[in-house]
Structure 1
Amino acid sequence: MEFWAKTDSEGNSGIDVFHHLLNVGYVAKTLLNDTILKILGLDPLQCAAIAALHDIGKISPGFQSKCEKWIEKYSLNAIARKEYWNRQEKDHAKVGKYHLEKFFQEIYKENGFKQYSANFLASAIASHHGKLLGVASRPSHEPTGAGYWKEEINQTINEIIHEFKKPDAIPVNDHGMSAALFFVAGLTTLADWIGSDENFFPNNQNLDVDEIKVRAEKAVDSLRIGQIQVQKNLAFENIFQFSANEMQKKTLQTIQKPGIYIIEAPMGMGKTEAALGAAYQLFNQNAARGLYFALPTQTTSNRIFLRVKDFLMKIGGIDNQTKLIHGNSWLVESDLNELEIKDSLKPEEEKREIEQWFHSSKRALLAPVGVGTVDQALLSVVAAKHFFLRQFALAGKVVILDEVHSYDVYTGTLISLLCKTLVALGATVIILSATLTEKRRNEILGENSLQNNDYPLITGKPFQENLLAPVAAEPPETKTFKVFFKDRETIIKESIEKAKQGVCVLWVCDTVNSAQDTYKKIKKDTYNSVKIGLLHSRYPFFRRDDLENEWIEYLGKNNKNREGCILVSTQIVEQSIDIDADLLISELAPSDMLLQRLGREWRHQRTDRKAAEPEFWIIKEEAELKETFNLTQKEIKEVLGSKAHVYHPFVLLKSWQEWEKRTEVKIPLDIRAILEATYDDEAEIPDGWKGLLDDLNQKKNEMQSKAQLAANFWGNPSLEDEEGVQTRLIKNDQYFCLLYTSINDPAMTLLDGKEIGLNPKNYTKETGKIIHR
């Protein structure tokens, strides 16, 4: 008797369980990478066997009773009624977990491991629908006729082992954590999706093994999720069209194998090219199978996306291996060609989830090269649906994390965990930062003893090796920025005069409201005599995109015909955006943010600047710094205003203290000293600040605890894998509404002048793009 695994469109029993398991097993084998398997200590045939066994629970009365035609086919109506099959456990994942526990427990016992550890493996494999089943999850009760069904299950398990190979125990710690465990869980999920694709594996046909192998190869190839393909032995100059500086050369010499590495260098020195050059070296050596470039925001990831596509063209001649991934990436990607996984039998909710993974958004993790927000990678280390699929997708890749200094303790804690997880998965983690403190560097590397104040600096630890000797590089030519504290009204007046003289002014505010108010004031006082712009995150997508493109081009490296202007912006211009102002104005912010903002001033060599020297104007607060020494916490927050809701007041005070005593800043020479002084919690502070320091430390501890809790896979329910849900501490709920200018049946006119029909039945993906932009 054959037990059905799929039914056809008419409800007839189709492919049987054994052949479906074969399909998935051979797809799993095809998906595997030898380099990663070696790092994880896994055998490809054993992995294939484990993945194949994912649906063994379908051999159960509760599941089989779902197909009435199968029961009729084998004349089982009487026994099904007698044994109440329709009341038995119908969740085949729970039944499968129950029997896989028994099977794996024997294996773990033979291998000298705790038998209880086998329960974690059984749970992980049975969780191939996305949500992690707890180790205590069980069928509602022992199925009637359990002996018969158990015999059939054991026989099928033996047949699968004979086809592939008997698995060894996968080591896990007492908390159920293991890189290999979740790698195999992710492999199983992906292999099940592909092995259920009716485009290659019909749901009503049992294929022979040779045909299954051929179709598995074709199915995996069609999805374009394999190893990145590059031209071999290209020089740095061939890829980037310029010679490597010393920092870039030393980066290439240091990053030779998988592990974790940190590149600390000033803004505009070419950290991105250094990291991409190192990534190419690893591709060239077959030491990495792909790339994911992770950034703090959607804006920065959109910009880097274009640079990575150009890089990929240079090393491979094609750019369709590159995918952009974040919550709104589908609005940016011009490639709307989607890959279809056809499985008519899966529930609608699960089909939608699978579609998301093979469309332009989440496919970036599966694609050879992806660019997006760090949140998409962080979802691999929190209790979110399909976290193990994300781990599988990132395994063995080069993962570049840019601007890691910009995260709070909550997200920073998750980033440290992400780095540890990725290295264990055979990935190469390259961290880029211009403003990293020594303490944070050591946290990321997992080292406490590394003390080095050189700058630029390259540090790292290859996989399962000791920390490398830190590598210092020659700093770029020193730029000296004159620092002035001025009141807002004076700055408004003087900035307008500067703009009229041809100076390009960048004014950075800490909040959207402040940016809007500043823009309105300047606009009113200039009488349209100079070019003025406003950038912030609350614009509709289409408007923000247009404005960003306009100003990045206007203040960009290649604009030789620019005139005086004032661009008022929030922090969105702070990092990973190549704009070059003649004069920088900023509200008070943490020192690392102020240094990042300085990276947008005098960034490139120009012969036509209307400013004699680089100046940095910081807007004065309503009180003097020394007046805060004896104020209460509430009074200090009132002095600092709305920025105290964005940045912690204690950090703002320490930054204020550090910058106010300076009349000039030398970049990069002063970067280390400014950062360490700002974030030195052991330094003497005024009595009035001590309560704020205690509050800061308490908040840090709370955020760290929340992050550790979010990363507890086995102790938390698996939440939806949505960007920001568990990767950031969101303080305010966000709501979206559709803005329009008019409705004239049968169409609605939106803010950008585009029209959409009112009948949702006629909506397409392009309609959705118009609405969300």
Structure 2
Amino acid sequence: MDERELGFLGDPSLVRQLGALWGKSAAKAAGCMNLLICHLLDTAAVAEQIWDGYLAVSTQKLLDEVAGGPGRGRRFFAWLCGIHDCGKATPAFQRMDEAGARAVQEAGLTWVPKRQQRWQHDQAGGKLIRDVLSKAGWPEEQVSWIWPLVAGHHGRFPPAAKLNEPVSALGHLHGKGPAWRRAQSAVVEVLTRQLGFDSLEQVQPAKVPSRADQLHLSGLVVMADWIASDERHFDGIDDLKKASLEASRARAAKAWKRLGLRGGWGQLELPGPEAFQDRFGQVPRRSQLMVMDVARRMTGPGLLIVEAPMGEGKTNTSLLAAEILAARFGADGVFVGMPTQATSDPIFTQVRAWAGKVSPGLESQVALLHGKRRFNREWQTLLTEAGDRPDDMYGTIEEDALYEFSGFTAEEEPERLAPAEWFLGGKRGLLTPLVVGTIDQLLFAATRTKHVMLRMAGLAGKIVILDEVHAADVYMSQFLLEGLRWLGQARVPVILLSATLPPAQRRALTEAYLAGASWRQEAPAFDLPAPGGYPNVTAAWLEHGRPRVLVGNCTSWRKDLPVRVEVIPEFPRAKASKEAPEPIEEPYAEVVALLVDQLRDGGCALVIRNTVDRAQDTYEALCSHFRKSDVFLLHGRLHAAHRADRTEAALSRLGPSGSPRKRTILVATQLAEQSFDVDADILITDLAPIDLLLQRIGRLHRHDAVPRPERLRAPRVVITGFNASEARAPWILRDSEAIYGRYLLLRTAALVCAVDGSHWDIPGQVPALVAAVYGKEAVVPEAWAEEEEEAFAVWEEEQRGRAKSAEKFLLTRFAEYENTTLEGLHYAEAKGTDEVVHAIVRDGEPSVEVVIVYEDDDGYTSWKGGRLLGGGEVPPHLVDEVLGGTVRLPTKLTAAAEKELQPLAGWRGHPWLRHSRALRLQAGFGTRLDHFAVRYDVELGLVIDKTE
């Protein structure tokens, strides 16, 4: 950038000052200070790369509209990203590096040395750009949405009052006197002219984007800044003559190539009738054709709710529907949200196979995003073959701690099998072109947390698919509804999948999306007809500002299965006494006797319990009558390695097979309830609310081609965990009531008792059964009515309370849905670790993960017996083995764990273990936490007993 280019400044002193203002110190720019204007140009050049190689067509169209017409969005986007660090042109920032401060002062920009208050440069930038744009004549409505993107680029959007420098600083942090004002204006003007604008007036947008679009753009600004802050690709330039947009473009292009960054599938062609068979190797079923037809008939991006029975093929349906919506509305990828980590893993494999059919090589752009992905063999194999280091490294990188990490670059390995390493960094996962993870990723995007804009940027421009949405309780639903409001406002097509939804929940989901799409607190009035059949589909979107709704239904591809329903009454277990220290009766004797009888000729049984303790007890009772090799136990208190191995074994033993299967009994908790593709010949389950009970029944006789023993040819579900009669309200397991509440269990028990010894037609009766329990019609015997009324009052009060308790964490306060900017969005930020945020969206106390090690006279060993070094230091070859011993403690032990458990001394410098709490167990004994004895049993998992 020579003097001729800068002649418009009209003052040589300004040129000297521009050549002194620094943006990155030598320590953070590969040993050479990086000028502020150079970093701004680098970021703008990265933004151009993001536009060319990453942005969805829908986002490009949005930016064109904001900037004033086709072809204008790219340059405006580069300016928006480049201007982010203008607040560094202040004494508050420039004095922070001794060498840089000296050069700035020598150029004529001074400050009072004794003033030591801090003023964050992002907030200073918000004030600076607001003043500069206002002076340039921009209307207030345009200035008001631009400055929060600058002030919030470190992850939080402050209120306008926070922009003002500390009162006691007397103006010195922002810069006192005309010299600082001229220099600050010069920084903005030079960037503006370098990008090809004649003046700031020419930059002025033509329209104000929605708040959701602003949040999306803010996330992209952060993305550009983080890439341009990587000193491996953007080393320091301290000579103004070497700084130019052309030089920054060359640096950005080289960095983009080396990082291997890319978008998704680009602009898709609308898939034809043959696409489904091409993708999945089968002819589409009636319900799948119905959903695809509705997707083609939608005239705008909207909400698509698919309700179909278990085994109907909803996942494949949603993926093909996603292609249709992406082709029509310009989306460039997909996020698939599953209810649990365990259900995410098999869908990850499925989505990778589909992506490769959509576009060869696209399977390499699919990321698995959940806290236990390091134990997914497919994911780890992909990383290993790509040359990456163990996956947990990426979670340790923080934006405020240098931004970057060393390692793989795309030039070194052109045929990468996993997404670019950059996407694996902390908080960046959703930015990957295609993502499979837990629904928590979407719920997090609806919380007032730092860097929430990155989550929105990762969802906008994609098709969002959420499975098993019926599983969201009233508390989680507040975050789901909030997320749908923001996605609706951002015009993100959303596909929701469920076995069935209560009518009130279906309407609430639709209202939330349409309210967001219309930029209003409440949705415009619309009719939502009952689907009228099963499977069914409901579509809703805005057309010329007015809601449009399409509803369809058809018959299932499978005939109804007459599932026999039986009850094994259960009674409270006898309490121990001095005369009888142990209960006399065997509590699960009838269950054991039933399975001994039914599995005498072989077969596969699934037993689902509502608590871990109950599952462990059931497993032990069964092992006393069956070979241990035939009985499996799966629950959430197994450590990560055992859980992964047993999940794989369960899917193998109880999966579809054309030949007779080995006799198998799987005892599981609710892990087996959702998106768990096992096929049981007989099901025994604790009582649960009807929708969840039907989900469990969905694991029964799931596939037609499975050979079954003669006595198990007819599907049969046996329900226990309660006892009832028409003469009195039932006794129900206290733990079940603690989880689900008595009201829904009472109404479900009434339906179960009414059909005991007969059958339900599945899936045909599913909608009617769900509507009966969640509706207002009387379903319980008259003798239960008074208790039902009392239970309803308690349930209703709890529902209101839980919904209210979620409000303080939601991204938007109730009265702010019609705000037009992001100012003050983080007014009361939900702070904490990922575990705390997880607890926030799941309505639970924060729980703690620990790593099991065994302690003896010689030191420590892993759960598998591998010997650790002094102080517990982990040899490189044992890292995966040690991490495999990770287990989550129940919340009742959280306080004790946080107080008593710490990383081993040898872990404190380890990048993956330094934050991990060690659960030190004595062989054969375990340990004590609070008032509990804690041990790990190879068969049972973590066992927790109350001590005296």
Common topology (TM > 0.5): yes
Question: Does 1:736 find its partner at 2:849?
Answer: yes
Matched AA of 2:252: A
1:480/1:89 CA distance change after superposition, 3 Å:
same
Q: Are 1:365 and 1:390, in contact at CA under 8 Å, matched by a contact in 2?
A: yes
Partner of 2:166: 140
Distance in 2 separating the partners of 1:695 and 1:728: 22
Count of residues in Structure 1 that have an aligned counterpart in Structure 2: 752
Partner of 1:290: 333
Q: SS of the counterpart of 1:739? A: strand
Question: Does 1:308 find its partner at 2:339?
Answer: no
**Per-residue CA shift, 1:705-758, capped at 9, x if unaligned?**
23332123433125247264365244344233332345586x843223445444
Partner of 2:594: 494
User: How do residues 187-336 of structure 1 correspond to structure 2 at under 5 angstroms?
Assistant: 187-204=220-237, 206-221=242-257, 222-228=259-265, 235-256=275-296, 258-283=301-326, 287-318=330-361, 319-332=363-376, 333-334=379-380, 335-336=382-383
Distance in 1 separating the partners of 2:529 and 2:147: 41
Distance in 2 separating the partners of 1:766 and 1:153: 54
Q: SS of the counterpart of 2:22? A: coil
Distance in 2 separating the partners of 1:574 and 1:210: 57
Partner of 1:680: 775
1:94/1:622 CA distance change after superposition, 3 Å:
same
Distance in 2 separating the partners of 1:743 and 1:375: 39
TM-score, length-normalised on structure 1?
0.89
Q: Tell me how large the CA RMSD over aligned residues is.
A: 3.2
Mean Cα displacement is larger for which, 260-269 or 86-95? 86-95
Which of 508, 529, 534 is the matching residue for 2:633? 534
Partner of 1:602: 701
Distance in 1 separating the partners of 2:856 and 2:761: 57
Distance in 2 separating the partners of 1:167 and 1:69: 37
Q: SS of the counterpart of 1:500? A: coil
Question: Does 1:91 find its partner at 2:91?
Answer: no
Which of 654, 657, 678 is the matching residue for 1:558? 657
Mean Cα displacement is larger for which, 403-412 or 480-489? 480-489
Which of 54, 58, 66 is the matching residue for 1:42? 66
Which of 546, 554, 561 is the matching residue for 1:479? 561
**Per-residue CA shift, 1:165-201, capped at 9, x if unaligned?**
51327647xxxx7112211211111110011122322
Distance in 1 separating the partners of 2:133 and 2:213: 15
Q: Are 2:567 and 2:718, in contact at CA under 8 Å, matched by a contact in 1?
A: yes
Question: Does 1:154 find its partner at 2:190?
Answer: no
Q: SS of the counterpart of 1:377? A: helix
Which of 205, 212, 215 is the matching residue for 1:182? 215
Distance in 2 separating the partners of 1:338 and 1:238: 33
Matched AA of 1:478: D
Residue 98 of structure 1, CA deviation: 1.6
Distance in 2 separating the partners of 1:617 and 1:92: 64
Which of 405, 408, 414 is the matching residue for 2:473? 408
Question: Does 1:348 find its partner at 2:401?
Answer: yes
Question: Does 1:646 find its partner at 2:669?
Answer: no
Q: SS of the counterpart of 1:710? A: coil
Distance in 2 separating the partners of 1:494 and 1:405: 32
**Per-residue CA shift, 1:520-541, capped at 9, x if unaligned?**
1122233x28811111111011
Q: Are 2:750 and 2:779, in contact at CA under 8 Å, matched by a contact in 1?
A: no
**Per-residue CA shift, 1:263-301, capped at 9, x if unaligned?**
111000000000111223345567211111101111111
Q: SS of the counterpart of 1:491? A: helix
Q: SS of the counterpart of 2:680? A: coil
Partner of 2:483: 418
Mean Cα displacement is larger for which, 733-742 or 121-130? 733-742
1:321/1:529 CA distance change after superposition, 3 Å:
closer
**Per-residue CA shift, 1:461-484, capped at 9, x if unaligned?**
245563232121222311110111
Partner of 2:22: 4
Gaps of 5+ in 2: 1-16, 68-72, 198-202, 408-419, 512-525, 570-587, 813-824, 886-948
Partner of 1:515: 615
TM-score, length-normalised on structure 2?
0.74
1:565/1:331 CA distance change after superposition, 3 Å:
closer
Which of 718, 725, 731 is the matching residue for 2:838? 725
1:703/1:512 CA distance change after superposition, 3 Å:
same
1:769/1:55 CA distance change after superposition, 3 Å:
farther
Residue 674 of structure 1, CA deviation: 0.4
1:620/1:736 CA distance change after superposition, 3 Å:
closer
User: How do residues 17-32 of structure 1 correspond to structure 2 at under 5 angstroms?
Assistant: 17-32=36-51
User: How do residues 362-373 of structure 1 correspond to structure 2 at under 5 angstroms?
Assistant: 362-373=427-438
1:193/1:78 CA distance change after superposition, 3 Å:
closer
Distance in 1 separating the partners of 2:451 and 2:86: 20
Partner of 1:715: 827
**Per-residue CA shift, 1:549-593, capped at 9, x if unaligned?**
111111101362313332111111111111101111111000001
Matched AA of 2:370: H
Mean Cα displacement is larger for which, 322-331 or 417-426? 417-426
Question: Does 1:671 find its partner at 2:766?
Answer: yes
Q: SS of the counterpart of 1:600? A: coil
Matched AA of 2:596: I
Residue 223 of structure 1, CA deviation: 4.1
Q: Are 2:276 and 2:320, in contact at CA under 8 Å, matched by a contact in 1?
A: yes
Partner of 2:534: 455
Q: Are 1:442 and 1:448, in contact at CA under 8 Å, matched by a contact in 2?
A: no
Which of 630, 638, 656 is the matching residue for 2:749? 656
